[in-house]
Structure 1
Amino acid sequence: MSLFALPTAAPQPLAGRVVLLTGAHGGLGAAAAEACAAAGATLVLLGRKVPKLNRVYDTVAQAGPEPVLYPLDLEGATPDDYAELAERIHAELGRLDGLLHCAAEFRGLTPLEHIDPAAFARAIHVNLTAPWWLLQACLPLLRQAGDPSVVLAVDDPARVGQAYWGGYGVAQHGLRALVEMLAAELAGTQVRVAGLQPGPMRTALRGRAYADDLDPRARDAAAYAGACVTLLSPAGAAHRGTIWAPEPGDLPA
């Protein structure tokens, strides 16, 4: 018997699963993409900035199965564009097991009284209307999977409900309501719906609100990538219908 233990393969709770990831080149999105690929998922990487998507592609391709790039701007996309996306996923990959929504639009703190009406409408659309259009288009395909999971990243309502958060703050409250409403409507189906509320993260979005971020709780987005994997995997059933706000210390290394 050998005295040396053989190396064990890293667990792959997402092996064989196809996951659509929005905001793939953002702070949380890019970190989640690498973690999900390492966990075995085949990813459809959706984002609006092609050069940044390409960089995420290179990282993900080294971590796991070769991903698929899907450049799309949520601001200008129509319901027909999302229907086409679902059709192409079905045609090229044959299935969709998970949808992880990390995309967000925030351009800075502004008093409501002075927000440009078009900017307010854009924030509501990109952060609330567009995610729902996308989900609605993908639900028929998700229903065909054995253990489908929908995960929406949401912000802390106590923070973004304060002064100056504008359309982004309003939309984030709506997104939380969408998680709870959709989870209730799909409670009798196989489709699991959950929200993920990360703690403060050092991302470009947060930097637009805090020029000097001295919050000792702030972590790199990678601290919450494992939570994305959990919610998309069979273990995510424990969080079905909830908005999970994990502490970094509660997450796997």
Structure 2
Amino acid sequence: MSGASSLEGRVILVAGAAGGLGSAATVACAQAGATVVLLGRKVAPLNRVYDAARAVGPEPVLYPLDLEGASPDDFDELGQRIEADLGRLDGLLHCAAEFKGLTPLQHTDPADFARALHVDLTARWWLTQACLPLLAKSDAGAVVFAIDDPARNGSPAFWGGYGLAQAAQVTLVPMLQAELGEHGPRVSGLRPGPMRTGLRGKAFQPNTDLKAKPASAYAAACVELLSAAGAAQRGRIVDVLA
């Protein structure tokens, strides 16, 4: 996919903006002209991404929120704040993730299992649901789910609730698009190759993980799917190998 797509004048919400892919995509979206709303749990990392995005594009907006503890009402309030303060929302990029490390299912702590399913699936859907009315008002509204593929790493074993949430999103993308129809907001999934991020570092030793690429290698693909150029990928899961 090419990275030449424009987001000039668009408002893009990035969930997990302080993470590996989230931070790289935030800067790329700002560079493409978007006003980016940075959603994340910790203020200090968000501030660093804010500074990087502001240096290359329009001034971003900070919105600290812990997805694990947020309720549907909290997400509805977020949507209302974006509309009141910015007047529009053109794209939503899901990069927030929860992963404790490789563990056999039978030995997984029940709370860790539930937390991974919630942050990696339920909270993503609640946020999407809250944003759909605003996205429907845009002439190019788009939702992009960043989806991991544990099986690509050689085995689907030991990925627990995180792995199950990834599989569920592969089903969610075409299901939601079929319900929204061809004239509703676009829904797609971005399945990048191995990325050198903190999350991946919990499963692989960095000094032996030779296949992993910097998260910035996939940022242009995020921009393209969020832009009007991503219309060709409506309802699809897009595999991107840097």
TM-score bucket of the superposed structures, by smaller chain: over 0.9
| 1:92 alignment partner in structure 2 | 85
Q: Distance between the aligned counterparts of 1:190 and 1:222, measured in 2?
A: 30
Alpha-carbon distance between aligned partners in 2 of 1:140 and 1:126, rounded to the nearest angstrom: 22
- Cα distance between partner residues in 2 of 1:153 and 1:137: 18
2:143 matched to 1:150?
A: yes
- Residues 170-217 of structure 1 show CA distances to partners (whole Å, capped at 9, x for unaligned) of 111111111121111112323111000000010000000012453443
The residue type paired with residue 222 of structure 1 is: S
**Corresponding letter in the other structure for 2:32:** A
Determine if the alignment matches structure 1 residue 192 to structure 2 residue 186.
Answer: yes
RMSD: 1.5
Which residue, out of 228, 232, 239, partners 1:234? 228
- Residue 15 (structure 1) aligned with residue 8 (structure 2): yes
% identical equivalent positions = 64
Query: 1:171 corresponds to which residue?
Result: 165
> Which letter maps to 1:96?
L
Is the 8 Å Cα contact of residues 12 and 40 (structure 1) preserved in structure 2? no
In the aligned structure 1, how far is the partner of 2:184 from the partner of 2:227? 13
In structure 2, how many angstroms separate the alpha carbons of the residues matched to 1:183 and 1:118? 31
Higher RCO (CA 8 Å, separation ≥ 6 residues): 2
Shift of 1:226: 0.2
* Displacement after TM superposition at 1:238 (Å): 1.3
- The structural deviation recorded for 1:54 is 0.4
Return the TM-score normalized by structure 1. 0.91
TM-score normalized by the length of structure 2? 0.95
- Taking the aligned partners of 1:166 and 1:247, their CA distance within structure 2 comes to 24
Structure 1 partner of 2:203 = 209
Q: Deviations over 1:99-127 (max 9, x none)?
A: 01111100101111111111111110000
1:180 pairs with 2:180:
no
Bigger Cα displacement from structure 2, 191-200 vs 176-185 = 176-185
Greater Cα shift, 182-191 or 211-220: 211-220
Task: Note the residue ranges of structure 2 that are not aligned, 5 or more in a row.
Answer: none
Q: Is the 8 A contact 1:147 1:190 kept in 2?
A: no
Instruction: Letter of the 1:240 partner, please give it.
Output: R
Q: Read off the aligned partner of 1:210 and give its amino acid letter.
A: F
1:71 paired to 2:60 = no
- The SS at the match of 1:245 is strand
Question: 2:28 aligns to what?
Answer: 35
Matched residues, number: 239
Which residue number in structure 1 is paired with residue 53 of structure 2? 60
Q: Contact (CA 8 Å) 1:12, 1:38: kept in 2 or not?
A: no
In the alignment, which residue of structure 1 is the partner of 2:98?
105
> What SS does structure 1 have at the residue aligned with 2:175?
helix
Distance in 1 (CA, whole Å) between partners of 2:150 and 2:83 is 35
- List alignment gaps of at least 5 residues for structure 1: 1-9, 249-253
Q: Which structure has the larger Rg?
A: 1
After TM superposition, give the deviation of residue 72 of structure 1 in Å.
Answer: 0.4
Q: Is the 8 A contact 1:207 1:213 kept in 2?
A: no
Q: Distance in 2 between matches of 1:63 and 1:70?
A: 20
